[in-house]
Copies of this chain bind each other. A is one copy, B any other.
Amino acid sequence: MAVTLRDVAVLAGVSVRTVSNVVNGFRHVSPPMRERVQAAIDQLGYQPNVVARSLRRGHTGVIAFLLPELSVPYFGELAHEVIEAARTRGLTVLVDETAGQADREREILDLAANSGLVDGVILSALGMLGREIALLRPRVPMVLIGERLAPQVFDHAGTDNVRAAKDAVKHLVDGGSRRIATIGAEPGTGRETSRLRLQGYRAALKAAGHQVRPGMVQNVDNFHRQDGAVAMRRLLALDEPPDALFCFNDSLALGALRVLFDAGVRSPDDMRIIGFDDVEEGRFSMPTLSTVTPDKPAIAREAVALLADRIGGSTAPPRDVVVPHYVVERESTAPTARTVARKSAV
């Protein structure tokens, strides 16, 4: 059995109360006493039992981060940031995967939020609909990250998807592209991210006086490289393929890039491409990938801050923290001889 507070007390010849006081850094303990107790602690190698402490205190110091899949670059990077942000507040992170499926989200959320194991939950939901989430009553605080699904009920941290998408497409428009396609629509799934980015795409085209042409909006089942590859094949099969492309995330864009290369279509020369997320991978792809970068560290920091605030007892109305985004121009949308010529002609 592990050594307990009592063991230390016996060895030091004091009461458990006193040991507890020095362990928890209480003031009002005489220096000699503190020293004696500390010696006993060191000698026995005592370490507080977090579970017992949690039972007594009513909180555990661990928060759950529920996300679709760690092997997806964006989520791996985001989890890294969340863990980092939590660490600065002395919080430990329990990561669990939902595969983006509603039933697993429900199951895992229920377990995490109601078992007393964690003090709060950060949820990146993909499967559950906003109206379902809004009805949730987790016993511990919950903040939403990414999809802004129930802003009137839960805190949320994320970027302005519509504006960010619009900025991405505007970047293509400004560069002289005319036939701008997009990959990432998910009709019928009710997924916010996809819906909002599509909205931004349409808004940008409209603002530029362009039309949304048939075939230019490619649906996908998922946001993986493979889905981008499949969609790009369909795009290339069009009578009039696009001269530019906005993908709803970088993985889709990277998959599309690969197909483009196989087809002998060059980027940016023949097709300018911009993604979304700014994953590390896009800084080394060929060509390097232009993208919209949501400030991931900021999203993580804000989400953890929001959660810590609730755990601390805040009953303020739900807050929605919008984190800034930036368009990052890399090779995949760099000006080419052709686009430069076209622009100067205007």
Contacts and interface: CB of A to CB of B under 8 A. Distances in A.
A228 to B, nearest CB: 9
B117 A62 contact: yes
A52 interface: yes
A70 B70 contact: yes
Contact of A49 (B80, B93, B115): B115
Contact of A94 (B62, B72, B139): B62
Contacts of A117: 50-51, 60, 62, 92
A232 B97 CA distance: 36
Interface of A: 2, 47-52, 54-55, 60, 62, 69-73, 75-77, 79-80, 83-84, 92-97, 110-111, 114-117, 139, 225, 229, 254-255, 257-258, 261, 280-281, 283-286, 288
B229 A284 contact: yes
Contacts of A75: 76
Nearest to A228: B284
A255 B284 contact: yes
Contacts of A115: 47-51
Contacts of A54: 51
Contacts of A139: 2
A51 B119 CA distance: 11
22 contacts: A2-B114, A47-B114, A49-B55, A49-B115, A50-B115, A50-B117, A51-B51, A51-B115, A62-B117, A70-B77, A70-B95, A73-B73, A73-B281, A76-B76, A83-B96, A93-B95, A94-B95, A255-B284, A257-B284, A258-B284, A258-B288, A261-B286
